[in-house]
Structure 1
């Protein structure tokens, strides 16, 4: 995308705004994990920096775990900034599945896992840290290391968990 993904316009608003709207509706503690503070110009929540020694989304997950432990939270929900069609029931369904199995729960739609859309119980922090300490960086691998449960959403077009990775993706979804 050439940078600035959260700030790209989608249907007249920033790409990140539909995700922020969902989180605001849930009235839950929230932070934004960023690689650098300038990634999001108008911040809806406190920004915390990704762990600098880790690459990719795992850096944000570990930073979120650090924050959640300081807040004594039982679990965290991770959502990406580039999924503007997320269903309103994502928190409820993922938390329900996570609590039942006391393990992470990850969204699945149209036959695909969406590893950034997941609930992680605090008990999984140690396993994720050990996974990262072994030099591993994949969120999919971290979910597997924690025995995550899949939570299915109905198939549809467009996919509710579609993420925007290119200007063409953005243009296609805009129409």
Structure 2
């Protein structure tokens, strides 16, 4: 199975007060940490982001902008799925740009139950999922019909949850606030 990895970085980072993807985390941009963990699990990697793509040029990855103007991460998921379908990938593994602790077995564990989303500590992580590329057409129709919640998309796509347990914290923890970022960046 040929898998495209897509880091969804199209959010406004409103709780952080600045673009969190580019904040320094353990000596490099946060998105670089996510790219390193995801890149080892996929055949190719892209970033979904809007605006000036050159801000990500040091990563050496293609930047795929949203094709819909909406305040939903579904626009990023749609852009990634469309890119995967157009480039001949069987599936697209999507993750948010603010989750630097992604499991290194993410793709391997999601593959058998495609489409699949990650879950941990009783919570589904709807943007962390493995999706067949051919779902791009269905998501396109749903976005045109007004779909906005990723949770609703996961239900429509019949994505199944794959549960992770970890003794040392949530592998899908998102860094959404300055406090989250400071706590995660502190030496252990």
Q: Same fold (TM over 0.5)?
A: yes
Please give the root-mean-square deviation of Cα atoms over the aligned residues, in Å: 1.7
* CA offsets 1:107-141 (integer angstroms, 9 cap, x no match): 00011111111001123223322221111111111
What is the aligned partner in structure 2 of residue 65 from structure 1? 81
> Deviation above 4 Å: which 4+ runs of structure 1?
none
Size of the aligned set, in residue pairs, is 170
Distance 1:43 1:12 in 2: 14
Runs of 5+ unmatched residues, structure 2: 1-15
Distance 2:87 2:56 in 1: 23
Is contact 1:128–1:145 with CA below 8 Å preserved after alignment? Answer: no
Matches within 5 A, 1:26-65: 26=41, 28-38=43-53, 40=56, 42-65=58-81
Q: Aligned to 1:151, which of 149, 158, 162?
A: 162
What is the aligned partner in structure 2 of residue 121 from structure 1? 132
What is the aligned partner in structure 1 of residue 6 from structure 2? none
What is the aligned partner in structure 2 of residue 84 from structure 1? 100
Is contact 1:4–1:40 with CA below 8 Å preserved after alignment? Answer: no
Distance 1:120 1:51 in 2: 18
TM-score normalised according to structure 1 size: 0.89
Is contact 1:83–1:164 with CA below 8 Å preserved after alignment? Answer: yes
Distance 1:56 1:27 in 2: 25
Q: Aligned to 1:107, which of 118, 125, 135?
A: 118
1:7 is the counterpart of 2:22: yes
Distance 1:35 1:154 in 2: 33
CA shift, 1:41, in A, is 5.3
Which deviates more from structure 2 when the two are superposed, residues 84-93 or residues 14-23?
14-23
Distance 2:166 2:34 in 1: 20
* CA offsets 1:68-110 (integer angstroms, 9 cap, x no match): 1211111100011100011100011112221xxxxx2000001
CA shift, 1:40, in A, is 3.2
What is the aligned partner in structure 1 of residue 113 from structure 2? 97
TM-score normalised according to structure 2 size: 0.83
